[in-house]
Amino acid sequence: MPLARIDVPRGKTAEYRAAVGDTVYEAMRATLNVPENDRFQVIAEHADTDLVIDADYLGIHRSRDAIIIQVTLNEGRTVELKKAFYKAVADGLHQRLGLRRADVVISLVEVKKENWSFGKGEAQYA
């Protein structure tokens, strides 16, 4: 169960935010072997002062449209699958929304399966 937290600059339309969420989910399905209907996302808008993304870290120039995507997921995916995911998200957002690839910051947080509860106060994967 990946949990995607997606942070975007304030002022983006509901359609824009939905397209970002759809693109992230589709990339997870295509590259990280995420099952159908395994979609958990939090999409939040932030004022400029609350979404701090360095404009030039690592020599990559980011604009004010930059977004942050953090995905918490079960550990164990290969570096190749992770790279494929990063590319699929950046390419998908560029194609769908015209978002510059340089404006897509992604972080993966891997956890053990027993660190999830899907409800009822139970650890369904433990």
CA 113 from centre of chain: 19
pLDDT in tens, 23-34: 999 999 999 999
Give the chain's mean pLDDT: 96
Element (H or E) spanning 40, and its range? strand 40-46
Question: What pLDDT is attached to residue 99?
Answer: 98
- Residue 9 annotated in active site: no
What mean pLDDT do residues 47-74 have? 96
Strand partners, 71: 4, 108
Instruction: Read off the amino acid at residue 52.
Output: V
| Residue of 1, 2, 7, 22 marked catalytic | 2
3-115 is classed in which CATH architecture? Answer: 2-Layer Sandwich (3.30)
Q: Is 2 helix (H, G, I), strand (E, B) or coil?
A: coil
Whether 75 shows a pLDDT value over 90: the answer reads yes
All structural domains of the chain with their residue ranges: 3-115
Question: What pLDDT is attached to residue 32?
Answer: 95
Q: Is 92 helix (H, G, I), strand (E, B) or coil?
A: helix
pLDDT in tens, 39-51: 999 999 999 999 9
Separation between Cα atoms, residue 69 and residue 6, nearest integer Å: 5
